[in-house]
Structure 1
Amino acid sequence: MTAPLAVATTAPLKAPLSLTETPSLVGLSRPEIGERLAGIGIEPKQIRMRTAQIWNWIYARGVTDFNDMLNVSKDLRATLAANFTLKRPEIVTEQISQDGTRKWLLRFPARGAGRPVEIETVYIPEIGRGTLCVSSQVGCTLTCSFCHTGTQKMVRNLTAEEIVGQILVARDRLGDFPDKTTPVGAAVPSEGRLVSNIVMMGMGEPLYNFDNVKQALLIASDGEGLSLSKRRITLSTSGVVPMIPRTGEEIGSMLAISLHAVRDDLRDMLVPLNKKYPIAELLDACRNYPGLSNARRITFEYVMLKDVNDTAADARELVRLLRGIPAKINLIPFNPWPGVNYQCSDWETIEAFSDIVNRAGYASPIRTPRGRDILAACGQLKSESERMRVRERLALEAMVTNDED
């Protein structure tokens, strides 16, 4: 049965009353958790054991309350609760598409002299897997002309806590932790884990937030925590060439490239980052991606834009450009959004393009649009968070200073 469309009311953003927040243990590395425990007086000989216990409860069991950590003493639970939090991001709205896709608008508290910010996270259920599309930034700097997120100004990077928090929220809502119950009528995989795959393809450019993305994805792939295979984690970039080798060496995830054009002049318009890192330079980085093999292919994403990049000649040039790179080409029917001037290529044109690529020996699936009715499809994510004006920031800092006096 198809889940009904559900939209919650969005609450207004409010300025924080204080710039001090109870620190969270979510998103920290094991050494960082150890440092926090040392800071509250845990004996050095116990830190490793306590860190392992806390790690397991947060990521393997999904607890949100220190009192649920049953193999931790009552006194220590009270001390942890007094000093730290395991809070999830606030769910402002949850929308469910007619095809079962879920989109959450998540709110994070203010950091520094900012205001609370919001991002979108999308869950896509399929027969054999459930894919979570995770955001890395609030807004985006890249202004890709066909992408709705690109119309939102960059506000800030998300922290590792905020990136991991998206995964935890999804698993909470879907009942994907032990002893949790899947909501009645939810569209989920028929077997196995409900969140089985992660794609860093939400709001933002992950490689412009490398350190936080790296830490979050290493937590996601940790065998004693969220325990997702690195082959089920894909990082998508518009082509930040200098960071691509580090992605393979330090994160080890699968790589996806938002290509979308086979000529520099066109890609300059569609993906302005191309002016800094043109196609030839980008593909050289792909050919040298650490761990690249037929079993660990790079995915090239190619949005199909009517009368822009969808000719047979474009398909043949794409094949020529990718020669020698173990690759899969995802053809993405363009997902429209309010105010955009592009149109999706005709279906016959997309199929003809796919046939050319397939005949050249590359897998070229046509991605089925998901969640279009709730603006949850590829390129449609956007939130209303905006960068705080200098005047607002100074006023907020003055307010907080006065409160503390």
Structure 2
Amino acid sequence: MVLGKVKTLVVCFDCLNDNNIPLYSGGDSVSGRVIIDVAGEVRVKTLNITARGIAKVRWTESRNAGANTAYTQNYTEEVEYLNHSDTLIGEERDEDSPEETLTVLNTGLHEFAFSFLLPQMPLATSFEGKHGSVRYWVRAELYRPWLLPVRVKKEFTVFEHIDINTPLLLAPQAGTKDKTLCCWFCASGPISLSAKIERKGYTPGESIQIFAEVENCSSRVVMPKATLCQTQTYFAKGKARQLQQQVAALRGDSLPQGKSQSWDGKLLHIPPVSPSILDCPLIRVEYSLVVYVDIPGGLNLSLSLPLVMGTIPLHAVPSRTNSISSYCSTISWPDRPEAPPSYSDLVVTEEQRRGCLQRCEGSQVNEEDHGTLHAYITEFRYQPPPLYSEVDPNPEPGCVTQEVSRPDPCPSR
């Protein structure tokens, strides 16, 4: 008997974004298929899938004593965010039952669907750094009798959404600094720097408008610059390790002695970068806009403004005045308004009132006449107003009162 062969084992996800990348967030349903391409007849014991999500940090510190290494210390920490297992083919074997139930796969493609829910909790965003990472993946394992298992692993991306449309992230950021240069006993004038940006929260692909003012009263030629910095902080065993890198930059014009320079909304484009990671206990990713003055032969004068890189962009909400005016412009108003109905059209006639009284005095009312009766009663409400009289209806004692004449509502009685 010739045994079959497993040609391919693939994990495919159903939900893909525009870049063909499986992208999810906390609470989402992750679904997909395990595809097996078989040549011949293959006997399978089980097909299992395992979904995992782990944040892991690792770095090494060494101390040297002369030409030899005194000791090496490893710092490693791990946090688990997801652990899910499921069996797609077969069942877990019972120790009391020695018999194994095998599933036969014939030549061709075979698909097995899977699905699971991500935890309803803040998950760390997928990240790859120098000293740590946050990874999520699905592993499929195919077990056959007397053969090594076939395994395949497919990663997916998780984003913990950060909405920048909050009061904290929409607040402007600003600062001011100055510095005086000195050389031995000679001191030059100060260099002052002030900078401001519109808000704290941004998303990749946007541009930051920088408003800055630089005044150079020193004896050197300086140059204003700005950089977007990413700071990665790793935590393990009570220690922290930090790594900072520049992701975008711009520069202004040279500024000679006694001159000033203004940036009226100078744009700094944000490239595709990872969102801020603020809730993970092992890895923290933060951003800042550093506006500084490059001073030749001296320490730079710098001003750091904190940023948060979000995933939900800014909502363009129109003003209330514009929304009302746009709504009113869509309404079609008539050229001339219709005249209101005259009061005489609403007054019932004497014959209608008599007919209404006759129906009310009847012993029984048919169901067929109920609608007509209701209509007459409704019309009966519209009676003529009482006659006008200048005599006070509530006179004081001792005054002569003239009786006010009123129409009889029921003349037939």
Normalised-by-shorter TM-score class? under 0.3
Superposition TM-score, scaled by structure 2 size = 0.20
* Larger-Rg structure: 2
Instruction: Compare relative contact order (CA 8 Å, sep 6+) and give the higher one, 1 or 2.
Output: 1
Superposition TM-score, scaled by structure 1 size = 0.20
Structure with greater helix share of residues? 1
Structure with greater strand share of residues? 2
